Structure 1
């Protein structure tokens, strides 16, 4: 009985009443059972290991990683409904170490007296710094708590390695359009939690636009749908008719998921650079558009283009660096929105040029040799004898002036003795 009361307090367990009509639509429509959970079939579909572990109350520590609105908190609620353990909720945004210590102390007491474990759900676990995350370790190790963490950030960077090694990392993907459409349809039909009693008629193009706005995020989709329905004009009979123009007027502009300091920032610029490298101007233009539409700093894009021109094109087309530098200057001079044209110009040029990274690879190999061999002395014949003492010591002795002796260019060594014969620059044939 204690478990059910705890579950009801935190996540409104099986015996809860339907959400108040005053609650946001996204909250009212939150699934209460796996049969209502839409999307993430590879993770929690029928017969999947994670779902079986939750339903049979055999869950071990787990970290749910995924973008907003993909089901992390809903899965935590489902765990609360199925576990015989005490379920405790903790937010790394609003909670601190003192509160966490109280939860752990109560968990230890519960385990000692009643042999009951505690499932601790930590929302936004990445908000805890690495020192704070250390507080979980001994208790996870001893089995005092089963940790269930939720994060929108890559746990490889944001969660300490010892905690990762003791947890299953479950990756939730942005919801597919089919899943978002199913969620939208359910919200329109449901007479108790959704708009089934409103007699809403929504055209297919309007639905598609709302699904696109959701952009993989069920919460964003339902929030947008609620605003659209509430703002739409009523027909004389009280019904609501929503077409694409109604949606466009309500939403104004589609929002793209993009965090200029987070992982999506690195994912998209990586896709852009790889499209350039593979000589695919169409792919490169798409990722460029994604960055621009999401508000990326155009100077950042231009800097990456300048780097790419030397790293991946190099001497296959030396003009690429000139073009990229000119684009960077144009972006500074012109500014947005017109600078988008300059960026598109540079993007298609760089994507279309032949590729040769021999200069970059050669530099990396030379750097490795400098680290391996240390400060090798400059061969005497390459040194300038600027004083008589230096001349007496052999500086410059044996140096062959290439303008007087053209063969010196190939016969004369320019590397320290331990590296004689080393070849760093190996351009592709014809370059």
Structure 2
């Protein structure tokens, strides 16, 4: 029976797991839990192909309790009910361990059905998810579980796994020598994006599609590896965590005035074809992070965004790159977003009072009889188009929301008004 190479390479002991040293290294918390054989409720969170299922299988081998495995993508309440039924038999007298893969696909009712049995210890839950558990998992389950984040493997760990895969694959070829160049290892490690299963699958395709030479040798070089992988797949789900993580890194790189990092994250978004999110985020950045330090910036970005939407991909990448580099290298000011934030905070927390009577609408018959607008001073009737008067409500008359940013444009405006208001 055919057995995928990735399954043959799958570690059987905790010490054989590739990567995840932050939780599985010597003396680390998850390693200690597994070796103690005192398994508690756990949630494994991380991208595909980083060892979540492997570790769950190792726990299954070491546990003295009956082990069940469900995939939430196709499991139902009936499957859970069947497991619960086993709890009342001899098979479940010491409790059971349930590994629930892709738990984010269970709705709230399905997750709640487990809660009673998790609470009294009859079911020990090990769940895995590629999505942020704080967004997708019922809070009552979260509060009773320990969350372990599995991280993408670095290239060194992936190459180590590939070398092990070569040895195991060679055993199946009965005398055929398998040689893999360093460049091929490097390419497979780089193109896998931290997913060891993807790297091994690529190697397997290379092996099966390459015939032995006259010397009975299968040679996998960089060219063969590239043909086998075809295209690097980035972790990007427009409805998932990676979408928001990349957008966040994109904005923070621009805010931090790093055009190279900003262009890198733009490239990821372009590769995913996510034009709407890019355009929206560029407009937000122009107002939030550049703001009044370079007020023309938002107009230029709007023109770039309009051009990108008119062009569509692939040409849209050009005006988007122009807007990104402009914003990353522009002077920065968050004075506008801070000002509106302070004002909104006061609306939520302070008694703001009524609009001053001299500012109320007076463009109707009878307004004067109500005292509306009588004491209003029209600024254009005074020198420099300015006259001091109260504009904020009485309860907020001393409030300060806007503070000029330390940049050339806002500095010049502040200096101008300091002189005018002093006079």
- Match of 2:12, SS state, is coil
- Which residue of structure 2 lines up, in the alignment, with residue 413 of structure 1? 390
TM-score for the superposition, normalised by structure 1: 0.90
TM-score for the superposition, normalised by structure 2: 0.92
- Matched residues in 2 for 1:197 and 1:324: separation? 62
- Which residue of structure 1 lines up, in the alignment, with residue 213 of structure 2? 235
- Which residue of structure 2 lines up, in the alignment, with residue 336 of structure 1? 313
Residue from 243, 250, 264 that aligns with 1:272 = 250
The answer (yes or no) to whether the contact 1:186–1:194 under 8 Å persists in 2 is no
Structure 1 residue runs without a partner (length 5+): 1-19
Worse-superposed segment, 93-102 or 37-46: 37-46
- Matched residues in 1 for 2:279 and 2:173: separation? 47
Distance 1:408 1:418, change over 3 A: farther
Worse-superposed segment, 162-171 or 98-107: 98-107
- Match of 2:64, SS state, is coil
Q: CA deviation at 1:232?
A: 2.1
- Which residue of structure 1 lines up, in the alignment, with residue 292 of structure 2? 315
- Matched residues in 1 for 2:171 and 2:249: separation? 40
- Which residue of structure 1 lines up, in the alignment, with residue 30 of structure 2? 50
Residue from 60, 74, 87 that aligns with 1:94 = 74
Residue from 355, 359, 362 that aligns with 1:385 = 362
- Which residue of structure 1 lines up, in the alignment, with residue 331 of structure 2? 354
- Matched residues in 2 for 1:107 and 1:91: separation? 20
Superimposed CA distance per residue, residues 246-266 of structure 1 (whole angstroms, 9 cap, x where no aligned partner)? 222233322212112110111
Aligned residues: 408
Residue from 268, 277, 291 that aligns with 1:300 = 277
- Matched residues in 1 for 2:385 and 2:371: separation? 19
The answer (yes or no) to whether the contact 1:190–1:196 under 8 Å persists in 2 is no
- Match of 1:138, SS state, is helix
- Which residue of structure 1 lines up, in the alignment, with residue 148 of structure 2? 170
- Which residue of structure 2 lines up, in the alignment, with residue 10 of structure 1? none
Q: CA deviation at 1:408?
A: 7.7
Q: CA deviation at 1:115?
A: 4.0
1:16-415 equivalences under 5 Å are 20=1, 22-110=2-90, 115-190=93-168, 197-293=175-271, 295-373=272-350, 376-406=353-383, 409-415=386-392
Q: CA deviation at 1:110?
A: 3.9
- Matched residues in 2 for 1:273 and 1:194: separation? 50
- Matched residues in 2 for 1:387 and 1:263: separation? 54
- Match of 1:389, SS state, is coil
- Match of 1:69, SS state, is coil
- Matched residues in 2 for 1:225 and 1:400: separation? 79
- Matched residues in 2 for 1:306 and 1:197: separation? 62
The answer (yes or no) to whether the contact 1:314–1:355 under 8 Å persists in 2 is yes
Superimposed CA distance per residue, residues 202-259 of structure 1 (whole angstroms, 9 cap, x where no aligned partner)? 2111111111122111111111111111112431233211221222223332221211
Tell me the C-alpha RMSD between the 2 structures: 1.9
